[in-house]
Amino acid sequence: MLRGDLPKSVNQLLAEEIMRQLKTRVIGRKVICYNTVDSTNTVAFALAEQGMPEGTAVFAEGQKKGKGRLGRNWSSPKAKGIYISLILRPHASVRATGLITLLAAVSVAQAIRKTSGLNALIRWPNDILINNKKVCGILSEMHTQAGLVKFVVLGIGINVSTARHQLPPGASSLKEQLPGQRLHFSRLDLARELLRQLDREYLYFKDQGSAHVLTQWSNLSFLSGKRVQVVLQEKVIEGLAQDLDDAGALIVRLDNGFKQHVLAGDVVKVR
Ligand code: BT5
């Protein structure tokens, strides 16, 4: 029997199953699974404020008020996707925390590729695409005090078997992208692989800084080499998307040869 065909009760994500033989060092050393919450980011934020340790992973089967960036919504139907928020305490500068979104994107793309075989790519800064459709979004929020990062909540939503009508235009799910629309893995398999990849990338980041994540990113980048339009606060620019700088900003080469470093908050459209 295909695991995606198991009844919902069997398919539910359970903390002890996620943690069994996980063998990660930081990520997922504590796992909490909820049924339905407003937003796993909101729950994880409150837990982090209460002192919950670094690496704590908060999962929910569904979210009533799943959050995107800038007050946007994240469609989170029950038992159809992975909705997870991690508590991180990176002892990094505010500037360096932009790399955490990137390392999450790299980890998601790798976990999807490994589990499903699908060609997942990163659309800088925070989307994962398969065949030009968004299957995952990432939202990191941080708590700072006196200019220092106290903690980061890293939220990741992946559409696993989400139906077309449950998603906005331009979005898709892993199931929809698989041949015959048949899942040959479970949400549990993907969740565990995701935690392993996040652990690997996060430890590289903590030990060695940006080098590893930037190399991985360039192998998985959807934007590199594409002509893009960037909406900055005061003007619109166009050019070729290239690499990232060491803080994770996208370098766009303008037609006059000038290189513009684009920040994650700016809007980038492929021409
Ligand atoms: C994101 O925002 O892509 C970040 C999404 C983060 C979701 C996770 S789930 C676990 C954790 N808890 C939370 O509450 N949030 C995080 P943004 O780049 O602003 O994209 C939002 C836009 O994507 C929306 O305005 C829609 O157009 C589209 N969208 C909404 N739901 C979607 C879905 N399930 N799949 C693909 N696109 C979606």
Question: What is the Cα–Cα distance from 83 to 51, expressed in whole angstroms?
Answer: 22
CB contact set of 79 (below 8 Å; sequence gap of 6+)? 8, 11, 12, 61, 62, 187
Tens of pLDDT, residue by residue over 74-124, are 999 999 999 999 999 998 888 888 899 999 999 999 999 999 999 999 999
Q: Who lines ligand 1 at CB under 6 A?
A: 39-41, 63, 66-70, 72-75, 83-85, 126-127, 134, 137-139, 155-157, 159, 167-168, 171
Domains and CATH numbers, the chain: 15-219 (3.30.930.10), 227-270 (2.30.30.100)
* pLDDT score of 140: 95
- 214 band by pLDDT with thresholds 50, 70 and 90: very high
For a ligand 1 pocket test, name from 74, 128, 162 the mutation site with the most ligand atoms within 8 angstroms of its C-beta. 74
Residue 2 predicted with pLDDT over 50: no
- pTM for this predicted structure: 0.95
* Residue 3's pLDDT band (cuts 50, 70, 90): very low
- Output the residue whose Cα is nearest ligand 1's atom 33: 75
Average pLDDT for 216-240 = 92
- CA–centroid distance, 136 to ligand 1, in Å, is 7
Tell how far the Cα of 74 is from the centroid of ligand 1, in angstroms.
4
**63 Cα to the center of ligand 1, angstroms:** 11
CA of residue 255 to ligand 1 center, whole Å: 33
CA distance 27 to 271: 38
Q: Which amino acid is at 230?
A: V
- 57-83 pLDDT, tens digit per residue, is 999 999 999 999 989 999 999 999 999
